[in-house]
Structure 1
Amino acid sequence: MNDRLPADFAWDADAVVVGASAGGIEALFALLEGLPAAYPLPILVVLHLPEHHESRLAEVFAPRLALPVQEAAAHAPVPRGVSFAPGGYHLLVEPDRSFSLSCEPPVLFSRPSIDVLMESCADAWGARLCGILLTGASADGARGLARIRQAGGLAAVQSPQEARHPVMPDAAVAQADPQLVLPLAQLHALLQRLGGQR
């Protein structure tokens, strides 16, 4: 596994989906800070929250990011910028690339579930999707990232050696066969590359 993004790496993506759990707030700031306000791709994010915990992630991230930041809303078209899954619901993307919310039971003890969002995104965008899995203390996201790979998309994982909690990236490496396993600084460079910046 390389610890740097190959200089000639290229991928045509129309959307990015990111999953994180324990240690994820710091990892997400490292991933997203510095992306420009005009970044062209939607970035959909699930960060595990305690059950019955109201999400304030959009409020926390908006002041520090140049990108538009919002909490995903049912039936709304997927917008450019960063969209966080609300607390207490599974977030999905429909084939028409609008959001939907589900009260189905938790997956691997989590609702919102990274697997659920990633699998729906794989169905919506296929090979033009990039999935990124960060630090976490469960295996949620490994199955979803594998679905992205099966659909022809790009799967990237934070280096387990760097992750505050390596269980999630280790599970993704074992189950999803990601094309890229990189430290956060290089995953940030990947997002820049996908958005047309060098």
Structure 2
Amino acid sequence: MAAPQAIVIGCSAGGLTALEQLLAGLDPALPQAIAVCCHTGSANVDLMCELLAKYATLPVEEARERAPMRGGVIHVAPSGYHLLVETSRRFALSVDQRVSFARPSIDVLFESAAEAWREALVGVVLTGANSDGARGLLKVRQGGGVAIVQDPADAESPTMPTVALELAGADHCLPLADIAPLLNRLCLP
């Protein structure tokens, strides 16, 4: 298997704490492009980017319309918009209807990223209190990408990982503490 070129991460309830731990464990030499969708309920994603930047080993920035999904950067979905990855691997923002009661929607990000990156994509579903991310993770797997799901028994809110496992299954289901080391192994030569 060739090294993945991109990683998409989705979370909801309990997600900020989970992201802090996950992003702190990533190797700072990771060359992959990373996009994060977290249901925050906040109107401003700047604060979340600042918080994550305190823990992350890579630069954290808000994803912008038409900006390329760059390697070695953690791009965070802006509040109030769906974040999509076009086949040109640039971001697009949408104010289409909410999906699974959320905008940004994890499913929308994962499904579009699966089209853009296919087998070169890793999808990660973390803690959350709804079903968002399950359909998107299925699309990642159908495209030949790798699916990682946080063990529901380890999640602050087990609903999202449970539904993802039921609908999409996973190539790896493990506790949060083991996900960053796995990503480092999968993504570094």
1:85 pairs with 2:77: yes
Counterpart of 1:182? 174
- Aligned counterparts, 1:95-134, within 5 A: 95-134=87-126
Residue 87 of structure 1, CA deviation: 0.2
1:38 pairs with 2:29: yes
Of 17, 22, 35, 2:8 maps to: 17
**Equivalent residues of 1:37, 1:68 under 8 A apart:** no
Count of residue correspondences? 187
The separation in 1 between residues aligned to 2:55 and 2:158, in whole angstroms, is 26
Residue 79 of structure 1, CA deviation: 1.3
1:54 pairs with 2:44: yes
Residue 11 of structure 1, CA deviation: 5.7
Query: How does the TM-score come out when normalised to structure 2?
Result: 0.95
The separation in 2 between residues aligned to 1:149 and 1:90, in whole angstroms, is 21
**Equivalent residues of 1:42, 1:79 under 8 A apart:** yes
The separation in 1 between residues aligned to 2:156 and 2:25, in whole angstroms, is 22
The separation in 2 between residues aligned to 1:66 and 1:181, in whole angstroms, is 23
Counterpart of 1:4? none
The separation in 1 between residues aligned to 2:27 and 2:143, in whole angstroms, is 29
1:145 pairs with 2:137: yes
Counterpart of 2:67? 76
The separation in 2 between residues aligned to 1:195 and 1:155, in whole angstroms, is 13
User: Which ranges of structure 1 fall in alignment gaps of 5 or more residues?
Assistant: 1-9
Q: Could you say what the CA RMSD is over the residues aligned between the two structures, in angstroms?
A: 1.3
The farther-off stretch of 152-161 and 185-194 is 185-194
Of 165, 172, 193, 2:157 maps to: 165
- Partner AA of 1:181 in structure 2: C
Residue 194 of structure 1, CA deviation: 2.4
**Equivalent residues of 2:36, 2:75 under 8 A apart:** yes
- Partner AA of 1:73 in structure 2: R
Flag as ranges the 4+ runs of structure 1 deviating above 3 A.
none
SS at match of 1:161: helix
User: Which ranges of structure 2 fall in alignment gaps of 5 or more residues?
Assistant: none
More helix by share: 2
Percent of aligned positions that are identical: 47
The separation in 2 between residues aligned to 1:74 and 1:193, in whole angstroms, is 31
- Partner AA of 1:60 in structure 2: L
The separation in 1 between residues aligned to 2:2 and 2:154, in whole angstroms, is 24
Query: How does the TM-score come out when normalised to structure 1?
Result: 0.90
